[in-house]
């Protein structure tokens, strides 16, 4: 009983912590995105080019991505879901729309300009975008059809994917702190850089699948 009560507090506490730590990245992404869209970046940046479509795609994706990163932890607060279902639904709609725009914007940029890290990074990031598209679509599809268990499963996948962009920076920060940047270079072709191309979402998705498989396992009770 005590353990259950402790877990009930642990989940919101961890979600709040994630929001708090991710907030500087949210601000950074909004700042970068709006500066790029207005052609008013404080310094020239390789992401900005004379390809207007690529610019609109990538800088819009930063703003909508920031919104997703900010809002997605709130969706998992059980008390908010129960006490404010209208908030849950509206915030959910905003997250889904923003996630779709984020993924499409990133994919347009990859298609038109390619990432700084070349083919391996293009593939890793494109797969990330496609997975976000799938998870966002499935989350809303199951909610609309009233399949709440499937909705929860996909929402959990979307949650970890949505935090992926922030986790990418967290991994780099911790790695540079621990190793000074071993197997990493400005061209993003070092061993660590290559692992990171999928390392910011694949391990978390595996974790989610293991968790869901465990949850689905029938509980055998002795008669």
Q: Work out which of 54, 66, 96, 135 binds ligand HEM, going by CB under 6 A.
A: 66
Binding mask 142-181 for ligand HEM (x = CB under 6 A): --------------------x--x----------------
Return the structure tokens found at 210.
């293991």
Tell me: does residue 61 bind ligand HEM (CB under 6 A).
yes
The number of residues that bind ligand HEM (CB under 6 A) is: 23
* Nearest CB to ligand HEM, comparing residues 45 and 83: 45
CB pairs under 8 A, 24+ apart, for 124-128?
A: 124/196, 124/197, 124/198, 125/197, 127/198, 128/161, 128/164, 128/198, 128/200, 128/201
131 Cα distance to chain centroid: 10
Binding mask 90-129 for ligand HEM (x = CB under 6 A): ------------xx--xx-xx----xx--------x--xx
Q: Work out which of 15, 29, 71, 136 binds ligand HEM, going by CB under 6 A.
A: 29
Tell me: does residue 59 bind ligand HEM (CB under 6 A).
no
Quick one: CA torsion of 122, 123, 126, 130, rounded to 10 degrees? 180
In the block, residue with structure tokens 């996630």: 99
The DSSP secondary-structure symbol of 219 reads P
- Residue 78: CB atoms within 10 A of its CB come to 11
**Footprint of ligand HEM (CB under 6 A):** 29, 32, 47, 61-62, 65-66, 68-69, 102-103, 106-107, 109-110, 115-116, 125, 128-129, 132, 162, 165
């Amino acid at each position: 009983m005590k353990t259950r009560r402790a877990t009930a507090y642990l989940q919101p506490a961890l979600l709040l912590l994630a929001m708090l730590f991710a907030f500087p990245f949210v601000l950074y992404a909004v700042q970068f995105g709006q500066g790029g869209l207005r052609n008013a970046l404080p310094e020239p940046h390789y992401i900005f080019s004379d390809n207007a479509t690529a610019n609109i795609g990538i800088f819009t994706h930063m703003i909508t991505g920031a919104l997703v990163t900010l809002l997605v932890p709130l969706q998992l607060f059980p008390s908010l879901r129960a006490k404010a279902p209208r908030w849950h639904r509206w915030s959910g709609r905003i997250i889904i729309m923003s996630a779709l725009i984020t993924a499409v914007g990133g994919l347009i940029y990859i298609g038109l300009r390619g990432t700084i890290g070349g083919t391996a990074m293009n593939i890793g990031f494109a797969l990330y975008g496609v997975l976000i598209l799938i998870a966002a679509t499935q989350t809303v599809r199951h909610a609309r059809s009233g399949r709440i268990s499937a909705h929860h499963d996909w929402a959990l996948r979307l949650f970890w994917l949505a935090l992926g962009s922030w986790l990418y920076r967290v991994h780099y920060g911790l790695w540079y702190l621990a190793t000074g940047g071993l197997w990493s270079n400005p061209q993003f072709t070092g061993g660590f850089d290559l692992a990171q191309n999928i390392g910011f979402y694949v391990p978390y998705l595996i974790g989610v699948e293991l968790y869901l498989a465990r949850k689905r396992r029938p509980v055998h009770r002795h008669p």
